[in-house]
Structure 1
């Protein structure tokens, strides 16, 4: 579930807004997120949006919720406030999503259908990010990657996960996840960073999975 390279996860907390204090508590601060991805399609068979589920690790979840009873009104408000802050901050970084068609990066719109909840002892975000322009995956090569550019946060799909499709016309569509293969320089850099060091903002891309979308 929470897997490879955990000892290498370091850098700057760019966006979640509440992890900054945790940076002072440990030499190698880190957060882990298990991903689920849904490809949203229209009735013409074009990809119009990418849905995300982010399931945060129990330690980070406990930190940000402060041990509140998940069923309490106070916890509900805290989660809603945190979600709003996170979505606002993440917008600047395309919600940590890189969506490409034929190798060119696509523009994304503001997230919609956002929600936050507790799943057991883990915090769960759900949101959908529309593409500015729909893409036909039958005529263009489409791929998706979700990652924190600084690699402060490790973001990986659940092992053995299957990418979901949603929409009226998804016949013949499928996806596969290509595992990351960071080079030794990237691994060495990640290992060498301490809490006072700033990671290169391209480091995370080398540790990111790539989701390849294909339709016949």
Structure 2
């Protein structure tokens, strides 16, 4: 596969993070200017345990239609007679392994404190409506009690090669894009990103084989907020 693309694209992929590479699993057929080069539609469900503590973040990521199409076509061309389901299973294993060192692109804070995350053991990849979907349960290292404090999270690719946004319609994020499970009395909202114009310009000027400043994606990330009584 690699031999069918020019050296410029190989260099691009060598410079991508392992996480982005595992998510995309392909080489761009043409040079595309400006970041991001793809997107993920995300849904988030906060999971509380029977003691009312936040225990995990259940996330669903839907890759954009273009990358989904190419990935599905690539998996359909794999020799050996493996089924699409088997290919998606292997893809899920690769994605999980490459996202693990990056905390699964997820930052979680309670008040001023950043919360530590555990390792994903429950996950799946499937095709739904022509799009590839990665679904996983991200546990906290230790369950926490919100006790009236506001919990905030961001999910982003640090390189901003991929943009991660909550599932949305014409009027903004969908209600089901951020929900709470196992706990009553919680209020949720999704705060849109408000990047500095200079960073917008920086991202727009990045070529496909260039990498932005470390953590560039943070400035373009939406923020989910949850406050429980």
TM-score normalised over the length of structure 1 = 0.86
> Residues 9-46 of structure 1: CA distance to partner in whole angstroms, max 9, x if unpaired?
xx964214343642563233711111100000012211
Which structure 1 residue ranges, 5 or more long, are not aligned? 1-10
Aligned residues: 203
Partner of 2:227: 214
More helix by share: 2
Q: Distance in 2 between matches of 1:42 and 1:63?
A: 39
2: CA distance, partners of 1:185 / 1:103: 27
Map residues 9-158 of structure 1 onto 2, 5 A cutoff: 13-14=16-17, 15-18=19-22, 19=24, 21-23=26-28, 25-28=30-33, 30-66=37-73, 68=76, 74-158=83-167
Higher Cα Rg: structure 1 or 2? 2
Q: How far off is 1:197 after superposition?
A: 1.1
Report how far residue 139 of structure 1 moved.
Answer: 4.0
Question: Hey, what's the Cα distance between the residues in 1 that align with 2:69 and 2:197?
Answer: 33
TM-score (ref. length: structure 2) = 0.82
**Offset, 1:111:** 1.1
Partner of 1:3: none
CA RMSD of aligned residues (A): 2.2
